[in-house]
Structure 1
Amino acid sequence: MTKPIYLSFVILIIILSGCSGKREINDLAIVMAVGIDKIENPTEGNSEDKGYEVTIEVARPADSRGQTGAPSGGTGDPIWSASSQGETLFEAIRHLASFSTRRVFWAHNYIIVINEDVAREGIKDVIDFFTRNPELRMRTWVAITPNKAKDVISTVTGLEVIPGEALDKLYRYTDISGASPRTELLDVQSAYLSETTQPVIARVRLIERGVSNKKVGQAGAYKQVELEGAGVFKGDKLVGILDRDDSKAAVLFIEKVRSQIVVLSCPKNPEDVLTAEIVHDRFDVTPAYKNGKPSFTVNFKAFVNVVEAGCPFTIEDEEDVRTIEKELERTVKGNIEKLLTKAQKEYKSDFLELGQRFNNKFPSEWKTIKKSWNSTFSDVEFTVNVDAKVKGGVLLYSPTRSGK
């Protein structure tokens, strides 16, 4: 090996082994959650209806081991929350640097919470900023809230030390309840840019639920964050809210549902109720195109278990089983049809990915109707078929009756 080549290798080794791009954790403010609100008290140069208040929740590694027993020099608080204002999101976030002693670091952010007042005016700036940010993951959760977003992300729950982690786990386990869609930043951006689909975003709110462990009998002392339905968008603007039943029906269209429950009247005692759990389902939406008009057939086959009976019930009573199946079919079909009516007539927004399904099956025909899909969607015909089968009563095959 010649001397010049040898020297070149030595220089490369020295350069590549350096740490010029290192970031010490002690120099970073690691963001766990971010909230976006409208400006309440505008600073000089901002009008009341323009600008953002951005709040970040930053983990305090030294104090996040628990609520008590903070190490020497610590405050005992697991998080540090800070807010700043600006005419744009980036300006508001840059203002954080004027009082934060650490560099704001986004790579570990769990969730973006947007106040509904901001969402009604439009979230295109939010989508644009956070999808351009190279540090932020596209799998970050997104939620809207009727409360102040800064209050939601700063609420310390009774189970988790870090509020951002609590919000993350709400989303991770929502497939059990099916109460809200599991919306990620990637989903919101994809729907916003889509020619066929409108965004739908999960909704959270603060509720007084939880028992204080500091004062005896002080129930409801701590507010908690609850998943509560979803927000429907048209373009980038919030146009409507789905309640819990509507949201459960919407999740069938856009996600794979792990479990849902339906409360029904007892077959022989309508005043009493029983609870059926959908443990497996086959949900299919089939588009059709005839005489220049699109249509859809929704087929839902649900397999359920009776998990709680407020009246005597046995799986061997075929008459009772069939009565339960019919009521379940009627209830679920009614919820789906109510959701479709809201989407078509009230919100005029295809947030159920129906245009995408039509495009997948009829790409040529889609080219002729895509420009008018917003108006065409309102008049599309739907046929909804629901078939429910009660498969068991969990571990009880006989009625639960007192032996006295």
Structure 2
Amino acid sequence: MKKIMICCTFLSLLFCVGLFGKEEIDDLAMVMAVGVDKAENGEIWVTAQVVRPADARGDAGVGGTEGDPIWTATGEGKTIFEAIRNLARFSSRRIYWGHNAIIVISEEVARDGIVDVIDFFTRNNELRMRTWIVVTEKKANEVVAVKTGLEVIPGRSLDRLFRYSPIVAEAPRTDVMSLSASYIGEHVHPYLAMVRLRSRGVDPENPKEFGSIPQIELSGIAVFRDDQMVGRLNPRESRGFLWFVEDVGNAIIPLSCPDEEGPVSVELRDNRFQLTPNYKNGKVSFIATVETVTDLVELGCPTELEHSEVMEDLESDVAAYIKKDIEVMLEKVQKEFKVDAIKLGRAFQAKYPQYWNDLKDDWDEIFPEIEVKVNVKVELNNPQLLENPTRKGKD
């Protein structure tokens, strides 16, 4: 009997502990997106996009009209933590980060340094390490506050924007984990995707006015030296950058027909990239080799040439396009930014560990002078469009 009483008491204690540790969903303000800006007085602004459960009931809440799916508010403080804590002054619920999809940092904050941002969000035990982190050219609060995309919750739309970003291959998929990992290696500088607001959406009440509603779109890459942003790459330069750091995906290469005026679209399908370091007579060099199998998906011009000749011309044009993307990017990263964000040092260390110790202290000075030879091999599939072009050639 005594043993039974002890067991019952123990189970009761466990049940009580569970009750005391429980937090009701109705008590939480679930953040879906957060923006970090710098105020004119030098303090930090943190803007949180919070899901409003009132949307499901049709109720109105503080700062929102009836049925708004989100509530957006900004806290200000000398530190990120103080700014977030100050949100509690007017939030009726505790700020909860477990569902946050994205962290947006303004370029102004990024150029001053993001070490405080990284430190706070990596120490936050509620935040997922797979949370996306990006830079925007202007104010982060504008990106966080805008209602955009196909999803009811804009933060979820931003999350899916990055999940499907390989389709356009114009920005990397950067999250808190990959950013933190970039600081572990020697002479490896981080990079983050960039987003911007652009008038793309069409107002159904005024469809003739194209691009009247602001939408969020990918806009390139922010390159850092340590924790400070030093420059940006545009979308095409970013595609050249992506060959070195992640899969380019199913990018589209726009071209023109050989000897004709008309559009051609080629889609990358099966991509392979190899970076080969060389060290000879005390000089470091690399060979970057791209091999890609592509599909001809659009041929908007007539052709009377032999198939083999057209195929060779188009393959040559695609190879030249990819090579130019990479070479323009290399010129900018090596000569202007002078930071090894494309991980050449890591590749050299893997092949020549015996020489790395002699070069690593001077790598930042060596990197801008490294010669990188780019070789591109293209195989074009789906030549059926050449057999029956939509437009007829001249008689």
What range describes the TM-score normalised by the shorter chain of this pair?
A: over 0.9
Tell me how far apart the structure 2 counterparts of residues 375 and 183 of structure 1 sit (CA, whole Å): 27
Q: Unpaired runs of 5+ in structure 1?
A: 41-47
Q: Deviations over 1:323-374 (max 9, x none)?
A: 1111221221121111112111110011112212222222232222222211
- Equivalent positions of 1:161-176 (< 5 A) are 161-176=152-167
> Does residue 142 of structure 2 align to residue 151 of structure 1?
yes
Match of 1:260 in 2: 251
Contact (CA 8 Å) 2:300, 2:391: kept in 1 or not?
no
Aligned residues: 388
Opposite residue 51 of structure 2, the aligned amino acid is A
**1:206 aligned residue:** 197
Task: Name the aligned partner's letter for residue 92 of structure 2.
Answer: T
Q: Please name the residue that 2:28 is paired with.
A: 28
Provide the C-alpha distance between the structure 2 equivalents of 1:250 and 1:391, rounded to a whole number of angstroms.
25
Scaled by the length of structure 1, the TM-score of the pair is: 0.91
How far is 1:315 from its partner? Answer: 10
Correspondence 1:2-13 to 2 at 5 A: 3=2, 6-13=4-11
- 1:73 Cα offset (Å): 5.0
Deviations along 1:245-291, one digit per CA (max 9) or x if unpaired, are 1111111111122211111221121x333111111111111122223
Q: State the partner residue of 1:160.
A: 151
Alignment equivalent of 2:77, drawn from 83, 86, 104: 86
Q: Report if aligned partners of 2:301, 2:391 keep a CA contact under 8 Å in 1.
A: no
- Match runs of 1:47-66 below 5 Å: 48=41, 50-63=42-55
The percent identity for this pair of structures is 45
Distance 1:265 1:369 in 2: 45
Q: CA deviation at 1:172?
A: 0.8
SS at match of 2:126: coil
Q: Structure 1 residues 388 and 343 mapped into 2: Cα distance closer, same or farther (>3 Å)?
A: same
Partner amino acid, structure 2, of 1:11: T
Distance of 2:90 and 2:134 partners within structure 1: 27
Q: What is residue 14 of structure 1 aligned with on the other side?
A: 12
**Which of 227, 230, 235 is equivalent to 1:239?**
230
The answer to whether the 8 A contact 1:305-1:391 is kept is yes
Question: 1:97 aligns to what SS in structure 2?
Answer: helix
- 1:306 and 1:393 in contact (8 A); partners too: yes
Using the alignment, how far apart are the partners of 1:238 and 1:222 within structure 2? 30
> What is residue 39 of structure 2 aligned with on the other side?
39
Q: Decide whether the 8 Å contact of 1:314 with 1:398 is kept in 2.
A: no
Alpha-carbon deviation of 1:301? 0.8
Mapped to 1, the partners of 2:54 and 2:304 lie a distance apart of: 56
1:196 aligns with 2:196: no
Root mean square deviation of aligned Cα: 2.1
Classify the secondary structure of the residue corresponding to 1:138: coil
What TM-score do the two structures reach when normalised by structure 2?
A: 0.93
Is the 1:314–1:397 Cα contact (8 Å) retained in structure 2? no
Comparing both structures, which one devotes a greater share of its residues to helix? 2
Report what 2:349 is aligned to: 359
The reply on whether 1:333 has 2:320 as its aligned counterpart is no
Deviates more, 1:133-142 or 1:381-390: 381-390
CA apart distance, 1:14: 2.0
Work out the CA distance in 2 between the residues paired with 1:36 and 1:336. 32
Shift, 1:378, TM fit: 1.3
1:216 to partner: Cα distance: 5.3
Structure 1 window deviating more from structure 2 (24-33 vs 192-201): it is 192-201
Q: Which runs of 5+ in 2 are unaligned?
A: none
Q: Greater shift after overlay, 127-136 or 205-214?
A: 205-214
Any idea what SS the aligned residue of 2:99 has?
Answer: coil
Query: 2-side partners of 1:328 and 1:207: how far apart?
Result: 29
Matched-pair contact (CA < 8 Å) for 2:288–2:374: yes
Query: Residue type matched to 1:348 in 2?
Result: K
Of 106, 120, 124, 1:133 maps to 124
- CA-CA distance at 1:122 after TM superposition: 0.5
- Match of residue 296, structure 2, among 301, 306, 312: 306
Alignment of structure 1 residues 343-382 onto 2, 5 Å: 343-382=333-372
| 2:273 and 2:289 in contact (8 A); partners too | yes
Alpha-carbon contact 1:199-1:232 (below 8 Å) kept: yes
The 3 A distance-change label for structure 1 pair 392 and 151 is same
- Distance apart, 1:158 and its partner CA: 5.0
Q: Evaluate the alpha carbon distance shift between residue 126 and residue 10 of structure 1 in structure 2; reply closer, same or farther with a 3 A threshold.
A: same
- The answer on whether the counterparts of 1:191 and 1:197 sit within 8 Å (CA) in structure 2 is yes
Which one of the candidate residues 98, 101, 109 is aligned to 1:107? Answer: 98
Query: Do the aligned partners of 2:135 and 2:195 also contact (CA within 8 Å) in 1?
Result: yes
> 2:219 is matched by which residue type in structure 1?
E
Question: d(CA) in 1 for partners of 2:202 and 2:149?
Answer: 8
* Secondary structure, counterpart of 2:193 in structure 1: strand
| Counterpart in the other structure of 1:324 | 314
Checking the alignment, whether the CA contact within 8 Å between 2:104 and 2:140 is kept in structure 1 is: yes
SS at match of 1:308: strand
Q: CA deviation at 1:146?
A: 1.1
How many Å separate the matches in 2 of 1:363 and 1:236? Answer: 26
* Distance in 2 (alpha carbons) for counterparts of 1:395 and 1:320: 11
* Whole-angstrom distance in 2 between the partners of 1:313 and 1:135: 60
1:96-124 CA distance string (max 9 Å, x none): 11111100000100000000011011101
Q: Deviations over 1:10-50 (max 9, x none)?
A: 3332222332211110000000000011113xxxxxxx2x3
1:119 is aligned to 2:110: yes
User: What is the rounded CA distance, in whole Å, between the counterparts of 2:23 and 2:30 in structure 1?
Assistant: 12
Q: Which moved more, 1:252-261 or 1:28-37?
A: 252-261
